[in-house]
Amino acid sequence: MSEDPNKYVSYQSPLTSRYASEEMSFIFSDQHKFSTWRRLWFYLAKAQRELGISISEDQLNEMESNLDNINFNLAAKHENVTKHDVMAHIHTFGAACPKSAPIIHLGATSCFVGDNGDLINIKEGLAIIKPKLVRCIHNLAKFAETYKSLPTLGYTHFQPAQLTTVGKRACIWIQDLVLDLENLTRTSANIKFRGAKGTTGTQASFLKLFNGDHDKVELLDQRITELAGFSKPFSVTGQTYSRKIDFEILSILASLGTSIHKICTDIRLLAGHKELEEPFESDQVGSTAMPYKRNPMRSERCCSLSRHLGALLSNGFQTASLQWLERSLDDSANRRISLAEAFLTADGMLLTFQSIVQGIVVYDKVIEKRVNEELPFLASENLIAEMVKQGGDRQKCHEIIRKLSHQAGMQIKLSGKENDFLARVQNEPYFAPVRLKLGEIFEPSTFIGRAPEQVTKFLKQEVAPLTETYKEVLDLKTVLLV
């Protein structure tokens, strides 16, 4: 009997098979990783030749023509023997470039390709994340502008509070995302390169290679940094660049996760009240058992991915704090997982989040109904103020309102009836002096303060300048496949 061909199908990460984009998945693919290593070896040889090391133009051309031509089967065979991935790929690259084999990796240590390659991945990963975040901010900004004057019930402690507007609440969301964008922008602009530092960071091997010429060693370090697309190398490193850099990157991505988790939690709560809703497609199924369900699955996915992103932060903390002296290898396996997963998770979360914010549905009649249910109680202070203007006694007015509001409250809680507080006020002889003004006193738009003006100012002064740089990609849409 033949073996089932599907019995031993390998595990695939949901991050690459379901959530993250192809572009981010490629950044952390084997093809990109080892092609990057080969580019680094090419940069090293190119810079060494420029500074007088005996490396021929033919050798450089041979290396450059084989940057992406990787024999992964041969690399696997070498690693099975050497138990060292860098040495395995040195041999594999050498097999493809026999003329260049003698000078590949000259003077370098494993971290020359490992750490520098990771820094390249980090920089490229941030470059993918930033425009996606900007698009989310842009979509929310349009939403905030549209609904900047729509009164809605505000909450503190998830209890009804004073009114705000739908657009003003969205600006609070945007403000957190703007902070995240500022962090991403600052960090990506300031990432330094490990460069050519040698086995323990002293550059001793390169100093030997250049016969004690310190200037050439420094020029080598700077030249490789420039070839890799960075502006500055670290002045000092151990064998590795400081693992605090990883912790900072993971912190920034986790911080982005907290922002999106908070926003999506708010959306889930408001969806429960039927005030607004994330996009729900015509053939989408909310439940296998309950056909009527319209679950906020996108928001729930964002919250779920955000939690994973936050959990990865502890890896960065422990790896940075537990490094021994110039380096210990217990960071290696962890970093292969945590750095890649952090970027893939953040990418998948942003793709899902954009699919939400580009199509939020607002149910203004439900919002109006909820406002009208609570506003009579919320307006009591304004009612007292107006009565005092008409010569009333503040304490007496307060006591009458207290009794009427409690009566209305009991009717809501015990009988499930609507809030009739306003009708009770209208029928109370004490309030005859303001009866004609009750419609004005209880008008929702008079309770939102400067919310519309705050939205306008915030979007103009703080959001528009950030999004202007990305105006060519702001209106790109994302489609959620699963």
- Active site amino acids: 157, 287
Q: Are strands 276-277 and 159-165 parallel, antiparallel or unpaired?
A: unpaired
The rounded distance, in Å, linking the Cα atoms of 191 and 120 is: 10
Distance in angstroms between the alpha carbons of the first and the last residue of the chain = 37
Helix (H) or strand (E) holding 154: strand 151-156
- Cα-Cα-Cα-Cα dihedral of 418, 421, 422, 426, to 10°? 130
Instruction: Count Cβ atoms below 10 Å from residue 416 Cβ, excluding itself.
Output: 7
Q: What is the DSSP letter of 463?
A: I
Taking alpha carbons only, the member of 233, 187, 243, 228 closest to residue 36 is 228
Taking alpha carbons only, the member of 29, 172, 38, 174 closest to residue 93 is 38
Taking alpha carbons only, the member of 357, 369, 299 closest to residue 153 is 369
Query: Tokens representing 198?
Result: 């040698």
Alpha helices in 284-379 (DSSP H): 297-321, 332-357, 364-378
17 Cβ contact list (under 8 Å, min separation 6): none
The rounded distance, in Å, linking the Cα atoms of 20 and 51 is: 42
CA atoms within 13 A on the CB side of 286: 12
Instruction: Count Cβ atoms below 10 Å from residue 302 Cβ, excluding itself.
Output: 28
Query: Tokens representing 130?
Result: 């930033």
331 Cβ contact list (under 8 Å, min separation 6): 240, 243, 319, 322, 323
CA distances from 38 to 62, 67, 361 (A): 12, 6, 49
Instruction: Count Cβ atoms below 10 Å from residue 323 Cβ, excluding itself.
Output: 18
Instruction: Count Cβ atoms below 10 Å from residue 6 Cβ, excluding itself.
Output: 6
The rounded distance, in Å, linking the Cα atoms of 95 and 72 is: 12
The rounded distance, in Å, linking the Cα atoms of 80 and 250 is: 32
The rounded distance, in Å, linking the Cα atoms of 151 and 387 is: 25
